[in-house]
Amino acid sequence: MNRREFLASAAAVTTATALPLPWSVAFAQSRSETLLFVSENGPNNLDIHGVGTNRPGYEASWNCYDRLMSYGVKTLPDGSLSYDKDTLVPEMATEWTVAADAITFKLRQDAVFHDGTPVTAHDVKWSFDRAVTVGGFPTFQMKAGSLMEPGQFEVVDDFTFKVKILRPDSLLMPDLAVIVPAIFNSKLVKANATEADPWGLEYTKNTPAGSGAFKVEKWTPGTEVVYVRNEDWKCGPLPQLKKVIWRTIPSAGNRRALIERGDVDLSFDLPAKDVLEMAKAGKVKVASTPISNGMWSVELNVTQPPFDNKLVRQAIAYALPYGKIMDAVMYGRAKPLYGAASNVADSMEWPRPTAYTTDVEKAKALLAEAGYADGFETVISFDLGQALISEPTAVLVQESLAAIGIRSTINKVPGANWRGEIAKKTMPFMINFFSGWLDYPEYFFFWCYHGQNAVFNTMSYQNPDLDAIIDAARAAAAAGDTATYETKIKEMITLGYEEVPRIPLFQPSLEVAMQPTIDGYTYWFHRQLDYRGLKKA
């Protein structure tokens, strides 16, 4: 299939008559209290601490578990709702006291887990111990806020929990409000743990052990998740929705047909072309929010020749078909991250464009200078779970690389396996998306460029100079030294763009279509749905 045929087939909409009717008679009477929504792919794990848990898995964890605190919600200039990164609000904790050496949390005394077991500080301690110990993404996420070891966490009494501060870190408090420091029913999980699996990850993969606003009634991987409201939830106002049904519909055309004919309430993460057309038609509500601290990019594994050569990486940066991707894949509904006047950062804008543009002759010259005048062979990998963007992008990139002598094949990795494949660090050339939960540039660089990070540093990039700049930016932020902080952020961006192990393409928006009866949709840092605030007229 050539690029034109692929793009045409991807844009085709399956006829509505081929779709099953999602609303059964049994649901019709309670539809006002039931949300039925669809997305391209579903969770591969219901536990955020699980190995290789995908982004849809974050949604399950967010809605089924509580945390000590969360973020507030604000109204944006266009009237839409978004989380507020500058406002922390109580969730399981009713209050907290911050001292120089520790943060002390007072817990709710009426909260219970889904099985009726009371939530205590002992569960919080066990959950935090688990997060900093299981390894992988959860442990690195905790490290992002200097939450490093079980010895930091202390049970003062049944309803008082203390976090000891190892070092000043401006990301510590925000990091406590993300998904990873979820509170688990420690007695239940320990009862289902084994010697080989001391943290009970196999049990919680399929069975949430939380106290959150929703319980999982049924999960059929790859097909459907059914949630029911937790009537005993104490950490916020009881949600209006009593049931949430999440169905996986891989075909974008089918999802569009379902939302347009009113058979589903909400369609999540839609293609830019469909959203553009539906917004013009005006039959459904469309929410489009720029994804904070996020970018699609080409990521090159610098441990695998020839990508260990900076000139080769820069050559690829000049060969990429930026304009074609923006037009044919994103239909202009994204922020270009290319074509700036210089790679030297003159502000703290982030994400910011690079100075690279499509320049085939410059790309060829750089390849020749690097000793690859005749090109080479490589494999372009992408996540099938995000195929609506990644697959046509891969086709366009493959075509452009051929123009400078780079011969490539395409590796389509199933969405459920993508995180695991990333962790292996064997893929030489990836088209990938990353969005930093905490909306600060040093947080993005900590995850994606720092040599100590084994998770989202997909390029296996090691640069002690850049590591030192990232660490200095974090220290300056914690100390309130704004001048040093700004200097280090600029240095960080400049060096990252000069070395270019990661080649930015564009900053996308999160696109959601919903029926006019749906209210309360809020954009969250994790880019998934929060059912607690959703309402139906």
* Model pLDDT for residues 352-401, shown as the tens digit of each residue: 999 999 999 999 999 999 999 999 999 999 999 888 899 999 999 999 99
The two three-digit tokens of residue 471, written as one number: 């660490």
State how far the alpha carbon of 487 is from the alpha carbons of 167, 316, 481, in Å: 22, 29, 10
pTM: 0.86
Domain-terminating residue out of 244, 262, 281: 244
Question: Is 19 among the domain residues?
Answer: no
Residues 487-520: b if buried by 16+ CB within 10 A, e if exposed: bbbbbbbbbbbebbbbbbbbbbbbbbbbbeebeb
Question: Is 105 among the domain residues?
Answer: yes
Average pLDDT, the chain: 92
pLDDT at residue 30, as a whole number: 73
190 and 333 part of one domain: no
Instruction: State the chain's maximal CA–CA distance in angstroms.
Output: 70
Beta bridge mates, 370: none
Q: Is the pLDDT score of 14 beyond 60?
A: no
Q: Tens digit of pLDDT for each residue in 387-438?
A: 889 999 999 999 999 999 999 999 999 988 998 899 899 999 999 999 999 9
380 and 235 part of one domain: no
Q: Is the pLDDT score of 22 beyond 80?
A: no
Question: Is 514 among the domain residues?
Answer: no
157: pLDDT confidence band, cut at 50, 70 and 90?
A: very high
Q: What are phi and psi of 454, to 5 degrees?
A: -100, 5
User: Does an H or E element contain 286, and which?
Assistant: strand 285-290
211 and 308 part of one domain: no
User: Does an H or E element contain 287, and which?
Assistant: strand 285-290
pLDDT at residue 12, as a whole number: 39
312 and 219 part of one domain: no
216 and 349 part of one domain: no
Contacts of residue 297, defined as CB under 8 A and 6 or more positions apart, other chains included, come to: 337, 431, 432, 433, 434, 502, 503, 504, 505
Q: Is the pLDDT score of 6 beyond 70?
A: no
Pick the closest to residue 333 from 277, 253, 259 (CA basis): 277
Domain-terminating residue out of 213, 244, 275: 244
271: pLDDT confidence band, cut at 50, 70 and 90?
A: confident
CATH number at 155 reads: 3.40.190.10
308 and 231 part of one domain: no
229 and 313 part of one domain: no
Q: Tens digit of pLDDT for each residue in 23-70?
A: 454 455 478 899 999 998 899 999 999 998 988 999 999 999 999 999
Beta bridge mates, 412: 382
198 and 137 part of one domain: yes
Q: What value does the mean pLDDT take over residues 332-336? A: 94
19: pLDDT confidence band, cut at 50, 70 and 90?
A: very low
Tell me the C-alpha distance between 170 and 247, whole Å. 39
Residue-number span of the structural domain to which 352 is assigned: 294-509
Residues 286-319: b if buried by 16+ CB within 10 A, e if exposed: bbbbebbbbbbbbbbbbebebbebebbbbbbbbb
225 and 307 part of one domain: no
pLDDT at residue 187, as a whole number: 98
CATH number at 441 reads: 3.10.105.10
pLDDT at residue 13, as a whole number: 34
HEC letters along 305-368:
CCCCCHHHHHHHHHHCCHHHHHHHHCCCCEEECCCCCCCCCCCCCCCCCCCCCCCHHHHHHHHH
Q: Is the pLDDT score of 322 beyond 90?
A: yes
Q: Is the pLDDT score of 262 beyond 60?
A: yes
pLDDT at residue 340, as a whole number: 97
Q: Tens digit of pLDDT for each residue in 323-333?
A: 999 999 999 99
Q: Tens digit of pLDDT for each residue in 446-472?
A: 999 998 776 789 999 999 999 999 999
Tell me the C-alpha distance between 159 and 125, whole Å. 11
Question: Is 437 among the domain residues?
Answer: yes
**Domain tally for the chain?**
2
